[in-house]
Amino acid sequence: MKRLTALDLGFIYLEKRNQPFHVAYLNLLTPPADAPPDFVQKLVERLRSYAAPLPPFNQRLETRLGAAYWVDEPEFDIDQHVIHLSLPRPGRVKDLLAMVSRMHASHLDRAYPLWRTYVIEGVEGGRIATYSKVHHSVADGIAGTRLTLRSMSANPDEILPPPWAVPPQGRRERAGNILTAPVSGAAKLVSRFRGAFGSVPGVARELRQSMRESRDKHPDFVSGSSAPPSILNHSISASRRYVAQSFSLPDAKTAGKVLGGTVNDMVLAMCAYALRKYLIDLDALPDKPLIAGVPMSTRRDRSETGNQIGFMLVNLGTHLEDPLERLQTIIASVEHNKQRFIKMKAGEVVGYGATLMAPGLLNMLTNPKRGKLAFNLVISHVPGPRTPLYWMGCSVDGMYPVSVVVDGMALNISLTSLQDRIDFGVIACRRTLPQVQRVLDYLGEGLAELQALAAKAPQTA
Amino acid sequence: MKRLTALDLGFIYLEKRNQPFHVAYLNLLTPPADAPPDFVQKLVERLRSYAAPLPPFNQRLETRLGAAYWVDEPEFDIDQHVIHLSLPRPGRVKDLLAMVSRMHASHLDRAYPLWRTYVIEGVEGGRIATYSKVHHSVADGIAGTRLTLRSMSANPDEILPPPWAVPPQGRRERAGNILTAPVSGAAKLVSRFRGAFGSVPGVARELRQSMRESRDKHPDFVSGSSAPPSILNHSISASRRYVAQSFSLPDAKTAGKVLGGTVNDMVLAMCAYALRKYLIDLDALPDKPLIAGVPMSTRRDRSETGNQIGFMLVNLGTHLEDPLERLQTIIASVEHNKQRFIKMKAGEVVGYGATLMAPGLLNMLTNPKRGKLAFNLVISHVPGPRTPLYWMGCSVDGMYPVSVVVDGMALNISLTSLQDRIDFGVIACRRTLPQVQRVLDYLGEGLAELQALAAKAPQTA
């Protein structure tokens, strides 16, 4: 039994009827060629055989005398956590995404450990999928990615334990700070957050400073230094639209090489193109550029501990029609951020966590004018290994993040770059943002635009 | 645009994270013998072709200046309301019930009209199922049953519109009273409920009187005149366990004829046996008899309007080992209730609605001692036609109600008697009440016990 940290408790308190606070992965898998007809049945049985999870997957939330604790569940019930589903024929990916949209809109039951894995058979092309969700108070996106990857192998024949049975080494490592210490109640939680943001060198001050400098150095940063109001920043319903697709990592890499940008720059440019076109369709493109909040791992090695997570505000140049100008704006904005990168060594989790959990709070703290936004959406990119991966004997064809949207932040674009793919997962409020599937098409067009730009660029070799 | 009635608003306010307030039907169907492989696909397409629902199915909840209204949804999106699912092979009924348990635990999104129908293919034996849920503020169980039945036909070849496209004749008819008039806010709602229960002849007074008389006339009604505390009356988690099964209506009828009871008496005796045995298994059988709250339709004709819904408290005699004594206790209790039946002419919905929505309130009002219960669970029986029914060309093999459980009322037994079947749907909090599937087995044993009693009884003919 242990008390929740301030950060974890924050994820619990901020959860609302229209705003569940879990993160997930949708993994697309191809079973081995010689898989028997009952392959999925056996796979589910195998997963359920890991019926004694390790912490935190065996712990549930309990409130005693007003304080929240994680307590071990003595009667852990694996059937509550591993679910076997099937798509109706023909099992189009579109139907899979609709299913994931519904599942992601559904709350986890706080009377049980806060995670669930669905194995979904019947995806067209003989494929299967998993959708694995975990409450944000149990694992953040980075930890979730790491755990997911640790259950995969480069060897098709190697069967590793599922995430909930992975030994705790390297799990939930967080630098100790004011937010990761236990806290006992809502009032204390709020004061602790205030303390964290008010501390020197505080995140808020860093972000404010960053924005002031941006305003001075980048003429594209229009006056007010705030993100423009947009349809992306309306309040949300409880329903979701989730779409996902893979794009070619080598294509992005090649274009970036010619155009003088990283893969991440190319990803941001793809997003900028897609958002611009999507909002033009809706006649809702702001005159000022959209600003993306981009959590970035600054991990330089392969270690699983000691991540450094930064957070930058990127001018997406969505007001610019010329693709080269737009790309240059993005690259300049990223470069500027990098030079004075907010490392948040002590409070590394703060920026990332606060971004996802309380954009309103962060916005308020980073911008003096009430009602103005510091950023319009979060674009999150988690890089992974470049080798092919296998899970339970299946090849991993896609590993798409499913993130969180909140009131005032109705769209989230998250992606992993793995093997030779960039796996995009786009989640939105179904009601606020119509036809989000178009964003996928436009991401593809955005990549094609970058390739065309690269083809026209003067050859350096 | 119209304001919500007090009753409907009550269903909205009482909804909590662990306590969604929708009711549903699980229907088990056999497609025609000559159904093509894409039969279910076509059926779903046909359902989705009814894309312009009639009120109230085209209305969503909207709050303006603190008051709640039903407003027409101009951009009604049928894809949000008709969902196509499939069970993994072999599609056991057990897996179907687990799926329904999960779906029933999930809230409807208040940003959309508050109903959803799932068509589930792949049930073993070539069958399919539908699970149709509607928020209790939109339709109560009786109205839901009536609408469901009106979309079915005695003619296998007749295709009728689905419930949301059934013309409004006979829908949501409710005698005008203090609870069915519009109301504007929470404070007024509470005072109106107080008024309704305090009115003369008020429901609460009637129930109190009923219990006083019961205490005098039935020695089995132990002192305190309250239902005993039991595991059925603990608080609940957000997870459900739903189980359902059909039993033979002729068997129950035949036994009842010999034993001097109605089908409803037999049903209550089956429940009494099942609850007794289930609680003995858990070493949790109270010494005092469990009391069932039984909403009863007093409709005497086939009309769809002018229902009269009564509510009685039945001593289930669960403390009695002897089956005949137990049955006699039940029959005497029902008879006693009938003689002074609480008809609630003006406030007919009050008893039924309040039972489902606020057992705590009703308990409090009917029993002066704080913390005591007037009843331990609701057992609800809705009779239907005796002819075979068809829906979209499929024969209806089962029509199982899926009702509501609330904090303090962790089990609900609902049933329909249709054609030659009694279709039981038992829903419980998954965490509070373990292994609820046993209740089904024990219902069957309970029926067998009644048949054995009847076989031993002196022949009257």
Same-domain pairing of A424 and A297: yes
Contacts of B102 in chain A (CB under 8 A): 83
Domain CATH code at residue A222:
3.30.559.30
Q: How far apart are CA B157 and CA A408, in angstroms?
A: 51
The 10 Å CB-count burial string (b at 16+, else e) for A209-245 is ebbebbeeebebbbeebbbbebbbbbebbbbbbbbbb
Q: How would residue A3 be classed by pLDDT, with cut points 50, 70 and 90?
A: confident
Nearest-CB residue to A238 (from B40, B83, B107): B107
* Record: contact B88-A238, CB cut-off 8 A: no
Over residues A269-278, the mean pLDDT reads 98
pLDDT reading at B304 higher than 80: no
pLDDT reading at B70 higher than 50: yes
pLDDT reading at A353 higher than 80: no
- Between the ranges B55-59, B128-132, B167-171, where is the mean pLDDT highest? B128-132
Same-domain pairing of B287 and B144: no
In terms of pLDDT, which residue wins out, A212 or A54? A54
Whether B50 is in a domain gets the answer yes
The pLDDT tens digits for B438-453 are 999 999 999 999 999 9
Catalytic machinery residues of A: 136
The pLDDT tens digits for B246-289 are 999 999 999 999 999 999 999 999 999 999 999 999 999 999 99
* Record: contact A86-B237, CB cut-off 8 A: no
Nearest-CB residue to B121 (from A88, A106, A109): A88
Over residues A263-273, the mean pLDDT reads 97
Asked if B43 and B119 touch (Cβ cutoff 8 Å), the reply is yes
Q: Give the pLDDT of residue B352.
A: 45
Q: Give the pLDDT of residue B168.
A: 62
Give the residue numbers in A contacting B (CB under 8 Å), as ranges: 17-18, 40-41, 79-80, 83-89, 95, 98, 102, 105-107, 109-112, 121-122, 237-239, 430-431
The 10 Å CB-count burial string (b at 16+, else e) for A361-373 is bbbbbbbeeeebb
* Record: contact A18-B109, CB cut-off 8 A: yes
Nearest chain B Cα distance for residue A315, angstroms: 33
Whether B79 is in a domain gets the answer yes
Same-domain pairing of B352 and B414: yes
What strands lie across the sheet with B2-3, from one edge to the other? Answer: B2-3, B67-72, B59-64
Q: Give the pLDDT of residue B99.
A: 98
Q: Give the pLDDT of residue B15.
A: 86
Q: Give the pLDDT of residue B137.
A: 85
Same-domain pairing of B228 and B365: yes
Same-domain pairing of B363 and B312: yes
Whether B291 is in a domain gets the answer yes
Asked if B277 and B461 touch (Cβ cutoff 8 Å), the reply is no
Contacts of A85 in chain B (CB under 8 A): 88
Same-domain pairing of B306 and B451: yes
* Residue after which a domain boundary falls, among A149, A165, A181: A165
Over residues A413-437, the mean pLDDT reads 96
* Residue after which a domain boundary falls, among B147, B165, B183: B165
pLDDT reading at B408 higher than 50: yes
Tokens 């970036």 sit on residue: A256
Percent of residues, chain A, with pLDDT higher than 90: 61
Please give the structure tokens belonging to residue A168.
Answer: 């705790």
Whether A191 is in a domain gets the answer no
* Record: contact A88-B86, CB cut-off 8 A: yes
Contacts of A88 in chain B (CB under 8 A): 40-41, 84-86, 121-122
Nearest-CB residue to B239 (from A87, A95, A111): A111
pLDDT reading at A262 higher than 80: yes
Closest alpha carbon within chain B to A108: B238
Please give the structure tokens belonging to residue B139.
Answer: 């339709």
Query: What mean pLDDT, rounded, does chain A reach?
Result: 83
pLDDT reading at A349 higher than 80: no
Q: How would residue B151 be classed by pLDDT, with cut points 50, 70 and 90?
A: very high
* Record: contact A105-B105, CB cut-off 8 A: no
* Record: contact B86-A87, CB cut-off 8 A: yes
* Residue after which a domain boundary falls, among B135, B165, B195: B165
Does an H or E element contain A15, and which?
none
- A87-91, B37-41, B133-137: lowest mean pLDDT where? B133-137
- Between the ranges B167-176, B184-193, B206-215, B249-258, where is the mean pLDDT highest? B249-258
Tokens 């996802």 sit on residue: A356
- A336-350, B20-34, B104-118, B193-207: lowest mean pLDDT where? B193-207
Q: Give the pLDDT of residue A459.
A: 63
Q: Give the pLDDT of residue B205.
A: 53
Give the count of beta carbons closer than 10 Å to the beta carbon of residue B330: 28
Same-domain pairing of A439 and A367: yes
Q: How many domains does chain A have?
A: 2
Q: Give the pLDDT of residue A173.
A: 41
Whether B178 is in a domain gets the answer no
Q: How would residue B201 be classed by pLDDT, with cut points 50, 70 and 90?
A: very low
Over residues B154-182, the mean pLDDT reads 69
Closest alpha carbon within chain A to B101: A80
Whether B340 is in a domain gets the answer yes
Closest alpha carbon within chain A to B85: A88
Q: How would residue B335 be classed by pLDDT, with cut points 50, 70 and 90?
A: confident
Q: How would residue B182 be classed by pLDDT, with cut points 50, 70 and 90?
A: low
* Record: contact B112-A80, CB cut-off 8 A: no
**Around A61, how many Cα atoms within 13 Å sit in the side-chain half-sphere?**
22
Same-domain pairing of A354 and A263: yes
Same-domain pairing of A152 and A210: no
Q: Give the pLDDT of residue A181.
A: 55
* Record: contact B88-A87, CB cut-off 8 A: no
Count of pairs with CB atoms under 8 A, one residue in A, one in B = 76
Same-domain pairing of B135 and B230: no
Domain CATH code at residue B68:
3.30.559.10
Is B136 in the active site? yes
Same-domain pairing of B270 and B407: yes
pLDDT reading at A412 higher than 50: yes
* Record: contact A109-B239, CB cut-off 8 A: yes
Range of the domain at A108: 2-165
Query: What mean pLDDT, rounded, does chain B reach?
Result: 83
Same-domain pairing of B375 and B254: yes
Q: How far apart are CA B268 and CA B333, in angstroms?
A: 11
pLDDT reading at B213 higher than 90: no
Contacts of A84 in chain B (CB under 8 A): 88, 95
Contacts of A118 in chain B (CB under 8 A): none
Whether A115 is in a domain gets the answer yes
Selecting among B81, B136, B319, B381, the annotated active-site residue is B136
Whether B181 is in a domain gets the answer no
* Record: contact A41-B84, CB cut-off 8 A: no
Q: Give the pLDDT of residue B297.
A: 59
Q: Across-strand partners of A428? A: A241, A411
Over residues A194-215, the mean pLDDT reads 51
